[in-house]
Structure 1
Amino acid sequence: MKLRVVVDMDDSLAERAKAPVSAALAGPYGHPFHPMLVTVPIGAWVGSLVLDVASRLVHDPAALVAGARWLIAIGVIGALAAAMPGFLDLFAIPPGTRAFRVALVHMSLNLLVTAAYAGNFLWRYAERGAPGGASTGMLALNAVSLAALAVSGYLGGKLAYRYGVRVADEAAQAEGFAPVRGRPGRSAD
């Protein structure tokens, strides 16, 4: 049984948001670079929070504090790299649509989070060599920034999984669910 949903929209608007503005810079159809690149800042910033917390629990926290500082720097660089194809993906979304509005909020949050982490790095760099673990302020800024990043990630997921931005159309997706024929040891059912 198939469920057919009728949507009152211009199909060309949805299709426009699926195609890259520049395949060389934003990734080919169905394989956008932005979601691949965001794993770098997310992983680095989660790791920095783990090291910040650990730095407050150990006797000699210097290496953990330094590690957190450099993970924050790696995250900022990774976020800037991810932003470039993200901007191109934004240009593919027709203005005046819900998807475009969600994308603007997603982008704004990401820019704020990146700025907060850049500030956190500069703060830590200015205080490098100070005894003790990450200060309460640094730890709090890290945690709040990561929480804002989670909200932005939710919005990014909404763009991809609900609105289908830069996701292959249903006909292309159907290829993945076609039965595999002729494989040894498998029935062709």
Structure 2
Amino acid sequence: MTVNSDLEGLRQAKQPVSGALAGPYGHPFHPILVTVPIGAWVCSLVFDIASRIVHRPAFLTHGSAWLIAIGVLGALAAACVGFLDLFAIPTGTPAFRTGLVHMALNLAVTAAYAAGFAWRRGGGFPEGQCVGYGQLALSAVSLATLAVSGYLGGKLAYRYGVRVAEESVQAEGYRTRHRP
């Protein structure tokens, strides 16, 4: 690729495929939506661990299962707009390959959490008991994988500038007003 085609690919990756669906220029929806599954799944792991510590863990085991469900629904919403952001990246580029790995990891994590939810709701633990070690391990491994995927998402935004406004647009936030 030439320098001009590289710059054109970068400009393309900064523009939304659909501003109405993926968020306007310089303010994508994907980073906003990912906070739902991340927060829900971190809290579910905290509830899982706490269920092994407290005397009556039923409220924690039930809460954890529903936090997992909320996270799965949030992840599906984030995936929809993230997929649109992926379409903006030119194929065959390191940014596109990073986006594909980011997407694959997130889909695998979401599938693991969906399976974990089904396991819990399908009688994975007797009423009133703490979360089992297998379910706890699945959540911990899934969350660790999500962290790796989050690193790649950060690389897409902060290194490759996917869906980030041009520096000339960003500069307006650093202009000072001179008062007479």
Q: Which residue of 1 aligns with 2:30?
A: 34
1:65 is aligned, of 58, 61, 66, to: 61
> Are 2:105 and 1:109 aligned?
yes
Which has the larger displacement, 79-88 or 125-134? 125-134
After TM superposition, give the deviation of residue 130 of structure 1 in Å: 3.1
> Are 2:163 and 1:177 aligned?
no
Distance of 1:152 and 1:93 partners within structure 2: 17
Q: Which residue of 2 aligns with 1:160?
A: 157
2:13 is aligned, of 3, 14, 17, to: 17
Distance of 1:151 and 1:90 partners within structure 2: 18
Map 1:18-167; keep pairs closer than 5 Å: 18-127=14-123, 129-167=126-164
After TM superposition, give the deviation of residue 9 of structure 1 in Å: 5.8
Distance of 1:132 and 1:53 partners within structure 2: 12
State percent identity of aligned pairs: 67
Which has the larger displacement, 8-17 or 160-169? 8-17
Aligned-partner SS, 2:53: coil
Unmatched segments (≥5 aa) in structure 2: none
TM-score (norm 2): 0.95
Q: Contact 1:62–1:129 (CA<8 Å) still a contact in 2?
A: no
The one-letter code matched in structure 1 to 2:76 is L
Deviation per CA, 1:50-81: give whole Å up to 9, x if none. 00000000110000000000000000000000
After TM superposition, give the deviation of residue 16 of structure 1 in Å: 0.2
In the comparison of the two structures, how many residue pairs are matched? Answer: 177
The one-letter code matched in structure 2 to 1:30 is G
Which has the larger displacement, 106-115 or 129-138? 129-138
TM-score (norm 1): 0.90
Distance of 1:101 and 1:70 partners within structure 2: 33
The one-letter code matched in structure 2 to 1:141 is L
After TM superposition, give the deviation of residue 181 of structure 1 in Å: 3.5
RMSD: 1.3
1:180/1:129 Cα in 2 relative to 1: closer, same or farther (>3 Å)?
Answer: farther
Distance of 1:32 and 1:20 partners within structure 2: 8
Distance of 1:17 and 1:131 partners within structure 2: 50
Q: Mark the structure with the bigger radius of gyration.
A: 1
Distance of 2:56 and 2:133 partners within structure 1: 17
Distance of 1:28 and 1:152 partners within structure 2: 24
Unmatched segments (≥5 aa) in structure 1: 1-6, 183-187
Distance of 1:113 and 1:129 partners within structure 2: 25
